[in-house]
Structure 1
Amino acid sequence: MTLIRSIQFSKVNKDIFPYQLPFFGHEMIFDAPVTILIGENGSGKSTFLELINEVIGLYKIKDKKILHPELISPISDAKSYVKIKYALSKPKGFFFSAEDFTSYIDDMMKEKAEAYQELKMIDQTYKHKSALSKSLARMPHMRTIGEINNLYQSDLLTSSHGEAYLDFFKSRIREKELYLLDEPETPLSIQNQLTLLSMIDEGIKRENQFIIATHSPILMAIPYATIYEVSDKGFQRIAYDQIESVILLKQFMNHPESFLKHLYRDEKNK
């Protein structure tokens, strides 16, 4: 099932971000429940997802530390040049950015640590004051710790970033919703990437749609996915076995000694 059927990017005669990205002036058709976006860094995969989100307005983790605030307004302004055709109506869903999620976990850990530090200071400052005064002073910080601890079924802060990402992802999966995943492999081991594949498969059974920007040959291998390569030519469908990084990885796995021999030969000659 596809909740969105196509995205049309109007041609814009502006040589500024994001209009110089190769997909402006092109259309992408969604005819599979999973769409994979591949391409070099800087090709615009993440911006593509951001533009979809600007139009649809999915839930998204907000990163408190915005690294490039100057890019937010141009993406928001560009949404008027993006036309999305829906199967029925605008879907609900979630935008998962691995980078934002990692920052989110780090921020929660910092916030929790600061709350504990405040409690220690209150214990010292209120040592000779009434129990009621001390309790009132501790209350907001205890509330902060409690809210963080009760956010999810498992404590995300005691897990690795990869395990926390999977727990969070699993907690957000509903039915008939759209999920945008931006480089989800970033915090995930190979084993956890396989676990994510299983979760996506379960999500498909619940009639969800996934659009995934990735560099991972494992995630690219979803059998029922449509793969688009984003390049200076716009969007091009590509088969898994034709992806350059997949071909190179297979060659390396089959003959690692050939690659390493040339690498270390060059090192010795330096």
Structure 2
Amino acid sequence: MLITQINIDPNPDNGFPFFLPIFQKPIHVTIHKPVLILVGDNGTGKSSLMKTVQQKLGLYEIEMNDFIKKDKIDVTSVNVSYHLSKPKGFFFESSKFITYLEYINKEKTLAEEELKRVEKEYRNSSDFAQQMASTPFKRTIGELNGMYKHDLSKSSHGESYLDFFTSRLRPGQLYLLDEPETPLSVQNQLTLLALILDGVKQDCQFIIATHSPILSAIPHAQIIEIKNQQLIEIKYEEIESIQLLKQFINHKDQFLKHFE
């Protein structure tokens, strides 16, 4: 286990997100499984809780432009207990994935355009001058092409996400995933589930905020529901959305007749 506890004391003076309802009471989470699932309605604070952990540990955040200055959270009231040394890993919000793809494609296009420009501008120069002028752009294109197994711009969003996730998976690291099911079909959610289980075998740890009945069912996962500003450990069958989904599947016609 890379991290074993998350403790947050109420301190609304620390600014966002600590004035949100979830942070008005002390938060004490003991983690005893390599996969922790956070469930609850939108707005209950799942993403904000993971964001505080990410900033406390200094985990890398996947965004479209790492040169844009990000707002920092005052995490002085946050304590995360970890084993031996601070873990490495990353925090990724699936809602930003399409924007991230657009950023990668834009950077590649700009590098290709600049490469064409310098090749034209330096065509009568020495080989050395041509090499010096073109190398930065060739390096950028090569690095972007080598980041992933497939060209993300030519794959579906789901395939791109899985390729992206696989490329970032490293043994013994911590991964915070915010609603990773967003770009994924049911089949691709099952594929992601398998990748997560493979990561667990490599001593990785995951904290996942999700509405997905598939990802919530990851075997042997610890599940915490956030409801009414409380964090309660529950079983899969006790998840409110799972109960409602089962009722709908078993009594579909009775549900739908109310909309006729």
Report if TM-score (shorter chain) is over 0.5.
Answer: yes
Does 2:47 match 1:51? no
Shift of 1:13: 4.9
CA contact (8 A) 1:96 1:180 kept: yes
Report the 3-state secondary structure (helix = DSSP H, G, I; strand = E; otherwise coil) of the residue aligned with 1:236. strand
> What residue in structure 2 maps to residue 93 of structure 1?
89
> What residue in structure 1 maps to residue 200 of structure 2?
204
Q: Size of the alignment, in residue pairs?
A: 256
Q: Aligned ranges for residues 1-270 of structure 1 at < 5 Å?
A: 2-14=1-13, 17-21=16-20, 22-23=22-23, 24-64=25-65, 72-73=71-72, 76-77=73-74, 79-118=75-114, 126=121, 130=124, 135=130, 140-263=136-259, 265=260
Q: Partner amino acid for 1:130?
A: N
Counterpart-to-counterpart distance in 2, 1:248 and 1:116: 51
Report the 3-state secondary structure (helix = DSSP H, G, I; strand = E; otherwise coil) of the residue aligned with 2:26. coil
CA contact (8 A) 1:37 1:45 kept: yes
Counterpart-to-counterpart distance in 1, 2:203 and 2:66: 34
CA contact (8 A) 2:44 2:227 kept: yes
Counterpart-to-counterpart distance in 1, 2:154 and 2:180: 20
Shift of 1:189: 0.8
Counterpart-to-counterpart distance in 1, 2:126 and 2:109: 24
Report the 3-state secondary structure (helix = DSSP H, G, I; strand = E; otherwise coil) of the residue aligned with 2:214. helix
Shift of 1:68: 11
CA RMSD of aligned residues (A): 2.8
CA contact (8 A) 1:12 1:25 kept: no
Give a deviation string over 1:30-55, Cα, whole Å, max 9, x none: 01111001112221111111111111
Distance 1:65 1:202, change over 3 A: closer
Give a deviation string over 1:164-212, Cα, whole Å, max 9, x none: 2111212222222211111111111110100011111111112221110
Give a deviation string over 1:66-85, Cα, whole Å, max 9, x none: 9996xx33xx21x1101111
Shift of 1:119: 5.5
CA contact (8 A) 1:34 1:226 kept: yes
Structure 2: 5+ residue stretches without partners: none
Report the 3-state secondary structure (helix = DSSP H, G, I; strand = E; otherwise coil) of the residue aligned with 1:166. helix
Distance 1:139 1:230, change over 3 A: same
Structure 1: 5+ residue stretches without partners: 266-270
Counterpart-to-counterpart distance in 1, 2:171 and 2:134: 41
Counterpart-to-counterpart distance in 1, 2:134 and 2:209: 44
Shift of 1:64: 2.9
